[in-house]
Structure 1
Amino acid sequence: MYIYFEEDGAFKAGTVLSQAGSAYQVELTTGRRTKIKASHVFFSFESPSAAELIAAIPAAAEELDPAFLWEAAPADEFTFLELAAEYWGEGASPVEKAALLTTLHANPVYFYRKGRGAYRKAPADILAKALEALERKRRQEEQKKAWTKEMVEGRLPEPIARQALMLLIAPDRNSIEWKAFSDAAAEARLTPLRLMLQLGGIASPWRWHVDSFYAMNFPRGRGFPDNLPKPPANDWSELPLADVEAFSIDDSETTEIDDAASVVHLDGGVTRVGIHIAAPALMITRGSPLDEVAKTRMSTVYAPGLKTTMLPEDWIKAASLDEGVTVPCLSLYAWVKDDTYAVEKTETRLERIALKANLRYDKIDALVTEEAIQNQTLDIPFAHEICWLWHFAKVLQHGREEVRGRPEPVGRVDWFFALEGEGENAVIRVKGRRRGAPLDLLVAELMIFANSTWGLWLEEHDTPGIYRSQRMGRVRMSTSPGPHDGLGVLRYAWSTSPLRRYVDLVNQRQMITALRGEPPAYARNDVDLFTIVSSFENIYSLYGDFQTRMERYWSLRWILQEGLKEIEAIVVKGDLVRIDGLPFMQRVPGLPEDLERGRKVRLRILGCDLVDLVMDAQLIGVLDESLSPGEESGLEEELAEAAAEAESEDAVKAEAHEEAHEEAHEAPASSAS
């Protein structure tokens, strides 16, 4: 005798070996023996054999139409045997019974299971909706397969093309578009990004790097809302006018001019140095519509050929320290002894300033050399003031170096790109600015001096602020004052770039309220202040990563543009090298482990991947040439930056001169100052 039964949720048939009470000892068609309770048995039969029954069920079930069975089934609950008798009569064969049971069980849309072998047909209205959903799912599956086939064959379906970017950065993994695209990528053995590039959904690697960044970080677009108010029509005549002839030093492309300097020689061998910072905090109140936008952006975004400002152009123009325009500013004055360049006292003022001149790095940098300063042969506007400030800056730097316990690295060149043309087809020119050059040193030290002085000033006036500190090599931003070991200063609060960084704008608000004797804009326990710190660090790090990524892109594009087959590199540590003359570092597997830091090597370029932004290279040979001791010390900074990037730290600011460079100026479409 054979029985048809259920075991572990599956229907099976077997030969009865013995029966003891309500249990059977059964041998399955696989040869395995098992014990089956009588309550799990659907029916017994003498023929065909168990194996023949199992083999015949699929074909018999194929002939049964679940829709017709639903029509024939009783309105109330029924068993499969009752429906079999209704369908075939009392003489239904074992194969027919098993096929009917299989069909009922396999169609839960038509039949609800109410127990072992018992069912109830679905209500007509619910069945209609379920069948509609099944049909929709069937059509979607057919559509998915068709789209997948198209993409594998090299054609991009229009519905997927419309979602090309979002399918890569924020896909709805339950959507038919994503499923088809994912299946096509798997079948083509390509990553989704490379498949989309191959199909033309993303026009090029450059478009991917740029568009993906802005889609993720500026989901409403790079522009500003149309309903933002215009800058106030205030002449700020209530503020005193600074009696100075101030000048700024920036690149020609710079539009956000937020710092300037002045030099006034006084009686008694004392010179008054003025550091003048644009004051947008006077115009942008906390919680205003523009403030909310700026707080969302947190900073201006810089990358080669790209710039997205924190503030709208008309607001920048209203506050920027442009030549010949009178605007409000926050000024730090320092009285400095002419013989020692020692600072006797400082004073902070809220005032107006009429800037005398906007000097431009790219027009005067080559002329401002140490030799010209020492020999007093510098022939540019404000030559005397620049020479005097350079001597002052050297003393400031020396003082910081004594606190740091080590000198600032010199000789490192910051490479950047000047792009001629728009977008990815621009012609690339590589330019460099040597750290420690007179103008770089002058502006950097003045900004460090202002930020460190104002950091102490906020603390002395019991006014909360946002500080940057560094202890044990770790840079952190917080509302708690602390020393910055890397810079060699007691306190450091970013305050000199309020047109470009939200933290600076916040600190400026705090200083203005203190100067006016008003309650601070942000109290010490203000939750918003802590939120700003956290948000700024995260967003600023993302912007920095984007700048680095685009510098790597343009480095590789320059190599391709120049058709280089070989290139020189400098060993940073182990197999990590910096390509000579480019802002590009990467590892070169197979580099000898015993190469000392600063050693130059020659590499053969095997390929440039503009998607993953890596250069495939192999070692040709080790050169006899090495970096000078001063240049080699700069590699320590690069190594610290690379290590901190890997740990998602804001490492570009971890060393003193890098922070100084950040504060100093905006390099042409490259520096994230």
Structure 2
Amino acid sequence: MNLLFEKYGTFKVGTIFSQNGNFYQVKIISGRHIKVKNSDILLRFSTPNPDQLIKKAKLLANEIDLNFLWEIVGTKKFYFFDLGIEYFGHTPLSYEAASLLFCLHNSPIYFYKKGKGYYKAVPRELLKTTKIHLEKKKLQIKLQNEYISKLKNKEIPDRIQDLALQLLFKPDKNSIEYKALNIVSRELQISPERLMIDYGIIKSTEQLHYKNFLFHFFPNGITFPDLIISNLPKLPVADNIRAFSIDDASTTEIDDALSVVKLSCGKIQIGIHIAAPGLCIKRNDLIDNFIRERMSSIYIPGNKITMLPSNIINKFSLNEGKTRAALSLYSILNPIDWSLISTETRVEMVYIVSNLRNNYLNSLTEEILNSGEGNYPHKNDISILWKWAKVLEKKRMIKRKYFGLQSKKSDQIDFNFSIKNNIVTITSYKRDKSINKIISELMIFANTNWGKLISNHNIPGVYRAQGESEYTSKTQVRMITHPAPHKELGVNQYAWSTSPLRRYIDLVNQWQILSCIKYKKIPIQASFEFGDTDLFDIISSFDKLNSSYSYFQKKMERYWCLRWLLQNKIKLIQATVIKNEIVQLLNLPLVIRLPGQKLIQGAQVKLNLLYIDEINLTIEAKLL
């Protein structure tokens, strides 16, 4: 006697070898013996043999009309063998009953399984919906195969062209476009990103990283709507002031300028002049609502995304040959010891005589500035500013010591990236041993003084503080709405205020500073008062976006470092060990890992660069 039974959700056939009560030892087609319960048995038969039954049943199952079968079963649960009597018009032969069982079991869209051998017809509406879905799925599979065929022939389907960025950066992994792209990528043994670049869908690896950033942070693009700004209030023109700025060559948003005037009494007046868009941009107006979404300008080598549209930048940027609205901080100094006698903040129109560029001034080292040698624009003014900057730095170092920190070493190296025709040039300079010290020290001075001014008027500002608090470590910098020491800088308070064209926090602080100054007949109310939760929302949003922007900037700097290595065909290079397996390549802001190495901090090592991946931004290197 032969049996057809169900075991672990599958059908098996075999010949009875022995019986023990309700259990049978059955020899299946493969030759194995299986223990079968009586309740598992669906069909007993003597002919044909098990192997033939399977073959004949499968052939007949392919001929059964599922639609007709579904129509005749009604809505109640039924047993497969009973259905066979109605369907075949006679008591079904063993292979006929088996074919019906196989057909019912393999057609879940028509029949629910309700137990061993028992089934029930799927309701009409659900069956109709399922058929529509299956037909749609067939069409999708057909379309997916068409996409695969085209991609293999280096043809770009329009749909994949349209969804290129989404497929790479935020794909729907169930979509046929994503599946087609990944199937072809696996067959060609390249990444989807590389395929997109090789096929010309994305122009270059640089564009890949740039478009990835825009996709996540600027899904609606980086263009500005038409933003019309109000007219400036009537302001006095600063007498005898010929201000100049010092910026990188690529800078178009010139926020700050400086001036030096020797007074008749022998004292010196130094002016720090900051662009004043806060005079015309008001809290919650159209411009404010737009730039608050952006929070700051974004700078990457060879490119930038500005916080403000060009028409507003052009109106307020401290461009040479123009008279611009400025928030000015004047300091009266005694040149004998460079002691500070007094300060005054004014809102005025200032004439900008020139915009100097770091590219031409970085050669002015500490030694040249100290010696007074050389010939360069505004030499006398720069010499005075340099002397005061050194005094300001010395005072900050004393304050750092008071805060329990050591004097900061003036050896921080910065890098400039210049990109022309996709060729990158990377140069380094010591920030604190060049003319940059003048800018950094005077801006720290302004941010410190204006932070104090806001506090003295009992209104909130946005301060950057560093030191131990209830929620942060002693080294973490945090933004708060009240004055607190910034121990790393060595100041009692520090409120970003000197870059209002490029940073939203500075614009917020400028509003607060303007409310402290009498430049209108009617006093100006502060844009934010203590307890205004909107100010905390601004801080939170800025922190989050600024962190993402900084990460992207470092990512693109890393990319251009890799490009520099490739374009110069660098294979051997020196590096300095930062810690264990982490090294920094010589004269590049590029840090890489040497897995498994335990090296001495500060040691100089020589590397053989084996492979550079511009997509993943990684380097494989061998320690020589």
Tell me which of 385, 391, 394 is aligned to 1:395: 391
Tell me which of 234, 257, 260 is aligned to 1:260: 257
- Contact 1:390 1:438 (C-alpha < 8 Å) held by counterparts: no
With over 3 angstroms needed to count, the CA separation of the structure-2 counterparts of 1:482 and 1:45, relative to structure 1, is farther
What does 1:637-648 correspond to in 2, within 5 Å?
Answer: none
1:32 paired residue number:
34
1:560 paired residue number:
566
2:506 paired residue number:
504
Rounded Cα–Cα distance in structure 2 between residues aligned with 1:577 and 1:43: 73
1:263 aligns to what SS in structure 2? strand
Code of the aligned partner of 1:219: P
Rounded Cα–Cα distance in structure 2 between residues aligned with 1:520 and 1:51: 91
Rounded Cα–Cα distance in structure 2 between residues aligned with 1:509 and 1:148: 58
- Contact 1:319 1:328 (C-alpha < 8 Å) held by counterparts: yes
With over 3 angstroms needed to count, the CA separation of the structure-2 counterparts of 1:199 and 1:335, relative to structure 1, is same
1:496 aligns to what SS in structure 2? coil
1:177 paired residue number:
177
CA apart distance, 1:69: 2.2
* Range with bigger deviation, 376-385 or 205-214: 376-385
Percent sequence identity over aligned pairs: 38
Tell me which of 234, 237, 247 is aligned to 2:234: 237
2:470 paired residue number:
none
CA apart distance, 1:175: 1.0
1:521 paired residue number:
527
What CA deviation, in whole Å up to 9, does each residue of 1:25-78 have, x standing for no partner?
3445453325454xx765554555667655654333223231342355447665
1:142 paired residue number:
142
1:443 maps to 2:449: no
* Range with bigger deviation, 50-59 or 324-333: 50-59
Code of the aligned partner of 1:575: E
What CA deviation, in whole Å up to 9, does each residue of 1:210-247 have, x standing for no partner?
2212222211112112xx3323233x314564653322
Q: Report which structure shows greater RCO (CA 8 Å, sep ≥6).
A: 1
Rounded Cα–Cα distance in structure 2 between residues aligned with 1:111 and 1:564: 68
1:428 maps to 2:424: yes
What CA deviation, in whole Å up to 9, does each residue of 1:315-372 have, x standing for no partner?
0011111223233222222232222222233333333322233222233443x44455
1:515 aligns to what SS in structure 2? coil
With over 3 angstroms needed to count, the CA separation of the structure-2 counterparts of 1:19 and 1:55, relative to structure 1, is farther
With over 3 angstroms needed to count, the CA separation of the structure-2 counterparts of 1:71 and 1:526, relative to structure 1, is same
What TM-score do the two structures reach when normalised by structure 2?
Answer: 0.87
1:469 maps to 2:469: no
Code of the aligned partner of 2:502: R
2:616 paired residue number:
612
Code of the aligned partner of 1:451: N
What does 1:151-550 correspond to in 2, within 5 Å?
Answer: 151=151, 156-225=156-225, 228-234=226-232, 236-238=233-235, 241=238, 244-266=241-263, 269-366=266-363, 368-377=364-373, 379-405=375-401, 406-421=406-421, 426-471=422-467, 472-515=474-517, 517-550=523-556
Code of the aligned partner of 1:134: L
Rounded Cα–Cα distance in structure 2 between residues aligned with 1:556 and 1:282: 44
With over 3 angstroms needed to count, the CA separation of the structure-2 counterparts of 1:374 and 1:593, relative to structure 1, is closer
With over 3 angstroms needed to count, the CA separation of the structure-2 counterparts of 1:146 and 1:339, relative to structure 1, is same
Rounded Cα–Cα distance in structure 1 between residues aligned with 2:202 and 2:369: 52
- Contact 2:235 2:349 (C-alpha < 8 Å) held by counterparts: no
With over 3 angstroms needed to count, the CA separation of the structure-2 counterparts of 1:555 and 1:83, relative to structure 1, is same
Rounded Cα–Cα distance in structure 2 between residues aligned with 1:370 and 1:78: 96
With over 3 angstroms needed to count, the CA separation of the structure-2 counterparts of 1:184 and 1:526, relative to structure 1, is farther
1:569 paired residue number:
575
CA apart distance, 1:312: 0.3
Code of the aligned partner of 1:479: T
Rounded Cα–Cα distance in structure 2 between residues aligned with 1:59 and 1:514: 93
CA apart distance, 1:150: 5.1
CA apart distance, 1:412: 4.2
2:464 aligns to what SS in structure 1? strand
Rounded Cα–Cα distance in structure 1 between residues aligned with 2:342 and 2:612: 55
2:428 aligns to what SS in structure 1? strand
2:592 aligns to what SS in structure 1? strand
With over 3 angstroms needed to count, the CA separation of the structure-2 counterparts of 1:52 and 1:452, relative to structure 1, is farther
- Contact 1:249 1:361 (C-alpha < 8 Å) held by counterparts: yes
2:418 aligns to what SS in structure 1? strand
Rounded Cα–Cα distance in structure 2 between residues aligned with 1:279 and 1:338: 30
2:390 aligns to what SS in structure 1? helix
* Range with bigger deviation, 70-79 or 97-106: 70-79
CA apart distance, 1:590: 7.0
- Contact 1:495 1:503 (C-alpha < 8 Å) held by counterparts: yes
- Contact 1:588 1:618 (C-alpha < 8 Å) held by counterparts: yes
Rounded Cα–Cα distance in structure 2 between residues aligned with 1:27 and 1:287: 84
Rounded Cα–Cα distance in structure 1 between residues aligned with 2:376 and 2:105: 92
What CA deviation, in whole Å up to 9, does each residue of 1:253-280 have, x standing for no partner?
3211111122233465533322111111
What root-mean-square deviation, in Å, do the aligned CA atoms of Structure 1 and Structure 2 show?
3.1
What CA deviation, in whole Å up to 9, does each residue of 1:145-191 have, x standing for no partner?
45345546765544323322210101112211112223333444443
* Range with bigger deviation, 579-588 or 252-261: 579-588
* Range with bigger deviation, 464-473 or 180-189: 180-189
What CA deviation, in whole Å up to 9, does each residue of 1:521-558 have, x standing for no partner?
22333332222222212222222222222222222222
Rounded Cα–Cα distance in structure 2 between residues aligned with 1:126 and 1:239: 79
1:537 aligns to what SS in structure 2? helix
* Count of residues paired in the alignment: 605
Rounded Cα–Cα distance in structure 2 between residues aligned with 1:18 and 1:524: 89
What TM-score do the two structures reach when normalised by structure 1?
Answer: 0.81
1:429 aligns to what SS in structure 2? strand
Rounded Cα–Cα distance in structure 1 between residues aligned with 2:570 and 2:377: 41
With over 3 angstroms needed to count, the CA separation of the structure-2 counterparts of 1:393 and 1:88, relative to structure 1, is same
1:136 aligns to what SS in structure 2? helix
Unaligned runs of 5+ in 1: 621-673
- Contact 1:231 1:318 (C-alpha < 8 Å) held by counterparts: no
Rounded Cα–Cα distance in structure 1 between residues aligned with 2:90 and 2:155: 58
Code of the aligned partner of 2:394: H
With over 3 angstroms needed to count, the CA separation of the structure-2 counterparts of 1:18 and 1:364, relative to structure 1, is closer
Rounded Cα–Cα distance in structure 1 between residues aligned with 2:367 and 2:124: 96
1:484 aligns to what SS in structure 2? coil
- Contact 1:12 1:54 (C-alpha < 8 Å) held by counterparts: no
- Contact 1:499 1:505 (C-alpha < 8 Å) held by counterparts: yes
Code of the aligned partner of 2:301: P
* Range with bigger deviation, 551-560 or 47-56: 47-56
- Contact 2:2 2:45 (C-alpha < 8 Å) held by counterparts: yes
With over 3 angstroms needed to count, the CA separation of the structure-2 counterparts of 1:194 and 1:518, relative to structure 1, is same
Code of the aligned partner of 1:247: F
